[in-house]
Amino acid sequence: MTSLAPPESQLPDVLPTDRLFASGKARPHIIDGLRSIPGRRNARAVVAVWAQITGGWALVRISDHPVVWILVCVWVGRCLSLVFLLNHESAHALLFENRVWNDRIGRIMLAWPALLDYDGYRQAHLVHHNDELGPDEPDMGLYAGYPTRRRRLLRRLVRDASGQSALKQVRALTRLPRAKLVGMLGVQMFVGLATFVVTGRWWAWLVVWILPWATVWQVINRLRAIAEHAGMAPGPDRRRNTHVVSQHWLASQILVPFRSGYHLAHHVDTSVPWARLPALHAELEDAGWVTPHITHDRYTALWHHLTTVPTET
């Protein structure tokens, strides 16, 4: 399989510097500012995400037109990406400094509503960071097989959009320990009650929560995941296993909210909260470690690259 990892000639050996260690992590005189957890900002973000979700639900009570239901379904699918990425912060213990509240909010308000096993996700995600694209990579199913033909990616996206990928995840959830399963079901009952109260429809939970999760969110999740690591190579230099993409407003609202598009910076230092990732990325660019040669101009260009480079036979 052809690798899309940049060649060594495009990876200048410029670290360490007076501000960064050889790993890319910041030196002590600037690290505290980068690693400080913005707890209040994160609390506002959690509230804002749920306000956006309930606001979408309220629209179908105002207008019962089928087009409105469809638009709300898409909107909630986009909001689920916000929920997921805030949960990602919680999994890294970066949502709140208080670890008890960090985990409690992450589990009850973010992971379980999105049908995600909080503790299982944290464990698997830490394995992902310990050896990106290595033999124990838990997310290799999302990253493997690139570059590929465009029709193969389209088939995968069709599986996502049709609920087939979600069905596999539901089957995995049924194997959770009883206590976790009961907790998750309890949260889903609360979400279902909330959709009924806001929309006035007893079946709304299926249409404006489960359906967006099973379709729209699955597509967004795959497109974001392959833009992070697909086609890259394992190894100690993270520039060879994590894509770099220029950040634009529209993508930051739909595909990579909460600065998650600065994914190389996140892999360089997983203790830097989402709000500080642009600052770390700027440090890496200023040092000459991240260069224009390894930076994709936009996500559409990267997806095109992932689906037009021929595979080896």
pLDDT digits (tens, 9 = 90+) for 27-83: 999 999 999 999 999 999 999 999 999 999 999 999 999 999 999 999 999 999 999
List CB contacts of 192: < 8 A, sequence separation 6 or more: 205, 209
- Between CA 202 and CA 195 the distance in angstroms is 8
- CA pair distance 302, 257, nearest whole angstrom: 18
Q: What's the rounded Cα separation, in Å, for the pair 267 and 232?
A: 14
Q: What is the pLDDT of residue 49?
A: 98
228 pLDDT higher than 60: yes
Residue 295 bridge partners (DSSP): 244
Q: Is 123 left (phi over 0), alpha (psi -120 to 50) or beta?
A: alpha
* Environment class of 108 (CB within 10 Å of its CB; exposed 0-12, middle 13-18, buried 19+): middle
Residue in the structure block whose two tokens are 């967004």: 220
Residue 308 — pLDDT band, cuts 50, 70, 90?
Answer: confident
What whole-number distance in Å separates Cα of residue 231 and Cα of residue 306? 7
The 10s digit of each residue's pLDDT in 74-84 is: 999 999 999 99
Please give the structure tokens belonging to residue 89: 């912060």
Provide the residue ranges of all domains of the chain, joining segments of one domain with +: 38-130+163-214
Distance CA 12, CA 178 (A): 51
Q: What is the overall mean pLDDT for the chain? A: 95
Query: DSSP for 69-84?
Result: HHHHHHHHHHHHHHHH
Q: What is the rounded average pLDDT of the residues 7-24? A: 95
Cα–Cα distance, 59 to 61 (Å, whole number): 5
Q: Specify the pLDDT at position 1.
A: 55
Q: What is the pTM of this model?
A: 0.94
